[in-house]
């Protein structure tokens, strides 16, 4: 077990096993719905964790990129009749392009200033999405066509489950490889001391821009999937609270832990669905989770538990 969890591939195998075996315990399609939503949130969080956990750069606006992907898919397929895959790629290009354009000036900022800049960016995106009524349907939202891939329509919970599960595994695998590559080491160097990293010859700006764009693209991909899955899209999906939820998932699961991001996403997505207390007091619970995690478990769930059970090797 220890060796399995310790190595990255072991973790990946566990993830695949969990995705394969979980449906055996699902009594009805509601559980599939929750699992699919968990998967979508987890995809965003894995990307966001590369930025927050590994590179140490906060973003309070990632729901904006999620929203761009979602609305690109919704508008291009439903209004303009594009094939969904092309629309998804267009969303990725748009998110990646915006992220690339703003990354240099924004990521030159630190701490509170960076938080404020990303927050401002996210809010501007969400305001545009809710005000361009002719394009997006405004606050009431808009319908989204079902997803078709290579002529097959993805419908029904089973096919969505496998699609999202497969994407999650793929994104996890990419993230693990990225973290283990020279890029990953450079990012961690940026996290511990940007100036020391620069002195050692790491082009810190280039790496920060790269990871920002990668995380935006991943969020956009998840947004596109979400739009097709839910069939109805509102600007709430891109708003400030959604950005905060993503950050909370990353922090709760554990910064700089890819599997932590998945656990965080799973807990914060599934708990409100299953516990009515959580549903009625959503704000209170979310706030409490954020404050208590940072005070008592600043490293997050997965790294803290890993430390307790397996010694210092998370």
Partner 1 sequence: MTEFFQFLFSGLTVGAIYALIALGFSLIYNASHLINFAQGEFVMIGGMATVFFAAAGIELPLAAVLAVLLAVVVAVAIERLGIAPAKGTSAVGLIIITIGAAILIRGLAGIVWDRNFHSLPPISGEEPLVIMGATLLPQSLWIFGVTAVIALLLWFFFAKTLWGKAMMATAYNPLAAQLVGIDTRKVVLVSFALAGALGALAGVLITPLAPTHFQVGVMLGLKGFAAAIVGGLGSGLGAIVGGLVIGIAEAMAAGYLSSAYKDAVAFVIILLFLVLWPSGLFGLRGIERV
Bridge partners of 154, per DSSP, are: 147
Tell me the site size for partner 1, rule CB under 8 A: 44
Binding to partner 1 by residue 93, rule CB under 8 A? no
- Rounded to a whole number of angstroms, the minimum distance from the CB of residue 132 to partner 1 is 9
Which residue, among 135, 113, 115, has the nearest Cα to 67 in the 3D structure? 135
Give the one residue of 83, 282, 305, 310 binding partner 1; rule: CB under 8 A.
282
Give the number of other Cβ atoms within 10 Å of residue 204's Cβ.
Answer: 20
CA angle 140, 141, 144 (to 5 degrees): 150
Check if the beta carbon of residue 82 is closer than 8 Å to that of residue 242: no
The set of residues, in sequence order, having a beta carbon less than 8 Å from that of 23 and lying 6+ positions away, is 32, 161
Stretch that binds partner 1, among 19-27, 39-47, 257-265, 283-291 (CB under 8 A): 283-291
User: Is the Cβ of residue 46 or residue 129 nearer to partner 1 in the bound state?
Assistant: 129
Phi-psi sector, 150: left (phi>0), alpha (psi -120 to 50), beta: left
Binding to partner 1 by residue 131, rule CB under 8 A? yes
User: Is the Cβ of residue 294 or residue 307 nearer to partner 1 in the bound state?
Assistant: 294
| Whole-number Å distance between alpha carbons of 111 and 298 | 17
Binding to partner 1 by residue 119, rule CB under 8 A? yes
Binding to partner 1 by CB under 8 A, coded x per residue (else -) over 57-86, reads -x-x--------------------------
| Token duo for residue 110 | 């630190």
Task: Say which residue the tokens 């956009």 belong to.
Answer: 220
Binding to partner 1 by residue 289, rule CB under 8 A? yes
Give the one residue of 79, 298, 309, 311 binding partner 1; rule: CB under 8 A.
298
Work out the widest C-alpha separation in the chain, in whole angstroms: 57
For the chain, the straight-line distance linking the first and the last C-alpha, in angstroms and rounded, comes to 13
Binding to partner 1 by residue 33, rule CB under 8 A? no
Stretch that binds partner 1, among 126-134, 206-214, 271-279, 301-309 (CB under 8 A): 126-134
Q: Is the dihedral of CA 45, 46, 48, 49 positive or negative?
A: positive
- Rounded to a whole number of angstroms, the minimum distance from the CB of residue 112 to partner 1 is 4
Residues 248-267 that bind partner 1 (CB under 8 A): 248, 251
Binding to partner 1 by residue 216, rule CB under 8 A? no
| Whole-number Å distance between alpha carbons of 134 and 78 | 13
DSSP label of 146? P
DSSP label of 145? P
Stretch that binds partner 1, among 1-9, 89-97, 245-253, 258-266 (CB under 8 A): 245-253
Binding to partner 1 by residue 134, rule CB under 8 A? no
Query: Which positions lie near partner 1, rule CB under 8 A?
Result: 52, 56, 58, 60, 105-106, 109, 111-113, 115-117, 119-121, 123-124, 127-128, 131, 193, 195-196, 240-241, 244, 247-248, 251, 281-291, 294-295, 298
């Amino acid at each position: 077990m220890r060796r399995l969890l310790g190595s990255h591939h072991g973790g990946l195998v566990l993830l695949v096993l969990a995705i394969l075996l979980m449906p055996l315990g699902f009594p009805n399609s509601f559980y599939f719905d929750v699992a699919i939503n968990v998967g979508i949130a987890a995809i965003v969080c894995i990307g966001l964790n590369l930025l927050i956990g590994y590179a140490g750069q906060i973003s309070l606006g990632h729901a904006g990129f999620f929203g761009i992907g979602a609305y690109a898919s919704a508008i291009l397929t439903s209004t303009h009749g594009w094939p969904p895959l092309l629309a998804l790629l267009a969303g990725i290009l748009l998110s990646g392009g915006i992220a690339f354009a703003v990354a240099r000036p924004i990521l030159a900022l630190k701490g509170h200033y960076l938080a404020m800049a990303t927050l401002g960016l996210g809010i501007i995106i969400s305001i545009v999405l809710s005000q361009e009524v002719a394009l997006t349907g405004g606050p009431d939202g808009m319908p989204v066509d079902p997803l078709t891939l290579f002529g097959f329509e993805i419908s029904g919970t089973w096919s969505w489950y496998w699609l999202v599960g497969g994407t999650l595994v793929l994104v996890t695998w990419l993230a693990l490889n990225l973290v283990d590559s020279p890029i990953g080491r450079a990012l961690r160097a940026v996290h511990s001391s940007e100036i020391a990293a620069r002195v050692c010859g790491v082009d810190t700006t280039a790496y920060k821009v790269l990871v920002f764009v990668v995380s935006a693209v991943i969020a956009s991909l998840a947004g596109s999937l979400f739009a097709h899955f839910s069939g109805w899209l509102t600007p709430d999906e891109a708003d400030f609270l959604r950005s905060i939820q993503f950050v909370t998932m990353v922090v709760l699961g554990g910064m700089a832990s890819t599997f932590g991001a998945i656990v965080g996403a799973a807990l914060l997505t599934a708990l409100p669905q299953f516990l009515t207390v959580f549903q009625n007091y959503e704000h209170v619970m979310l706030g409490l989770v954020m404050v208590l995690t940072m005070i008592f478990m600043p490293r997050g769930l997965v790294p803290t538990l890993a430390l307790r059970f397996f010694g210092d090797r998370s």
